[in-house]
Amino acid sequence: MKKVIILLAVAMMSVGMLAACSSSENTSKAADKKVLVMATSADYPPFEYVDTNQGGKIVGFDIDLANAIATKLGYKLKVKDMDFSGLIESLKSGQADLVLAGMTPTPKRKQNVDFSDIYYTAKYMIISKKGSGINTVQDLKGKTVGVQLGSIQETKAKDLNKTIPMKIEDRNRIPDLIEELKAGRFDAAIIEDSVAKGFLEKNKQLTGFTISDKADEAGSAIAFPKNSSLTAKFNDELKKMKEDGELQKLIVKWFGGMK
């Protein structure tokens, strides 16, 4: 009789432990769903970059914006750094829930992912060494021009190349473009103006000018997998941030009120 009681007790304890484990697993899975993976290319200050003064933490305008919206929606954010050219694929393959990387919603990209409303508008800047003689777009004729692989600036260079023959070279990271310029392997590079200005401040031997035509202005938006429910949710919060001035405060913080 004692053996039967002991066996029953052991069986009940086993069932209880299994139930607890199952409950714990379900809770863990539920918690995981509250974590959004944001893919970015952390070489694009002030949008996103690695801050060595903060132990290699990724910071920037896009990071603050994503964290603000995620918090409002009840999510935690996990940032994943990768090359810009792999960001769209990270959404298609399910490695990321969203992309913030100063990305422009081009027609080609829209074929593969969905985009939020525009949250920031910038211009292109052509940078070169001081004394290079490159002062206008026409001066790029016959020059070697660097662009970031997969970027809207790469598309812009190809468009310019139709009327102004030039040699276009691409690199994965913006700092690579800067180093190629300084080494004399590139004559010029096309970079977003707000990003280029940061590099110009640190590299006094470089100079640049913006392409001021309104048609050349490029807007940044948040990218999501096709048919993601997050798109509408982020748009709603983005609209609120524009209306109550919260977005403008972030712009002033990171761009010094340029916009």
Mean pLDDT calculated for residue range 123-146 = 96
Nearest CA among 158, 203, 155 for reference residue 177: 203
Residues 59 and 97 in one domain: yes
pLDDT of residue 26: 38
Mean pLDDT calculated for residue range 159-182 = 95
Residues 52 and 82 in one domain: yes
Q: Which residues of 19-53 are buried (b: 16+ CB within 10 A; e: fewer)?
A: eeeeeeeeeeeeeeeeebbbbbbbbbbbbbbeeee
pLDDT of residue 58: 97
pLDDT of residue 213: 53
When the pLDDT of each residue in the chain is averaged and rounded to a whole number, the result is: 86
Question: Checking DSSP bridges between strand 48-51 and strand 43-44, what pairing results, if any?
Answer: antiparallel
Residues 49 and 74 in one domain: yes
Residues 226 and 171 in one domain: no
Q: Could you tell me if 152 and 135 are in contact, meaning their C-beta atoms sit under 8 angstroms apart? A: no
Would you say residue 30 has pLDDT above 90?
no
Question: Does 28 map to a domain?
Answer: no
Question: Does 41 map to a domain?
Answer: yes
Rounded to an integer, what distance in angstroms lies between the CA atom of residue 58 and that of residue 40?
10
More confident residue, 87 or 219: 87
Mean pLDDT calculated for residue range 140-155 = 92
* Residues 43-79 pLDDT 10s: 988 899 999 999 999 999 999 999 999 999 999 999 9
Question: Does 94 map to a domain?
Answer: yes
Question: Does 23 map to a domain?
Answer: no
pLDDT of residue 18: 45
pLDDT above 90 coverage of the chain, percent: 69
Residues 88 and 169 in one domain: no
For residue 181, give the amino acid letter: L
Structural domain that includes position 96: 33-121+220-255
Q: Could you tell me if 222 and 100 are in contact, meaning their C-beta atoms sit under 8 angstroms apart? A: yes
Would you say residue 168 has pLDDT above 80?
yes
Those residues with Cβ within 8 angstroms of residue 174's Cβ, 6 or more apart along the chain or in another chain: 43, 44, 148, 191, 195, 199
pLDDT above 70 coverage of the chain, percent: 83
Would you say residue 22 has pLDDT above 70?
no
Q: Could you tell me if 144 and 121 are in contact, meaning their C-beta atoms sit under 8 angstroms apart? A: no
Residues 117 and 138 in one domain: no
pLDDT of residue 92: 97
Residues 196 and 234 in one domain: no
How many domains does one find in the chain?
2
- Whichever domain contains 182, its CATH number is 3.40.190.10
* Residues 10-21 pLDDT 10s: 455 554 444 444
In what side-by-side order are the strands of the sheet with 206-210? Answer: 167-171, 144-148, 188-192, 124-129, 206-210
Question: Does 26 map to a domain?
Answer: no
Rounded to an integer, what distance in angstroms lies between the CA atom of residue 119 and that of residue 238?
8
pLDDT of residue 171: 94
* Residues 180-195 pLDDT 10s: 999 999 999 999 887 8
pLDDT of residue 150: 82
Question: Does 1 map to a domain?
Answer: no
Residues 190 and 235 in one domain: no
Kindly report the backbone phi and psi dihedral angles of residue 129, in degrees, each rounded to the nearest multiple of 5, phi listed first. Answer: -75, 145
Question: Does 50 map to a domain?
Answer: yes
Question: Checking DSSP bridges between strand 124-129 and strand 206-210, what pairing results, if any?
Answer: antiparallel
pLDDT of residue 218: 67
* Residues 204-237 pLDDT 10s: 999 999 986 554 456 899 999 999 999 999 999 9
pLDDT of residue 33: 60
Would you say residue 179 has pLDDT above 90?
yes
pLDDT band at 142 (very low <50, low <70, confident <90, very high): very high
Would you say residue 166 has pLDDT above 70?
yes
Question: Does 21 map to a domain?
Answer: no
Would you say residue 3 has pLDDT above 70?
no
Rounded to an integer, what distance in angstroms lies between the CA atom of residue 104 and that of residue 121?
9
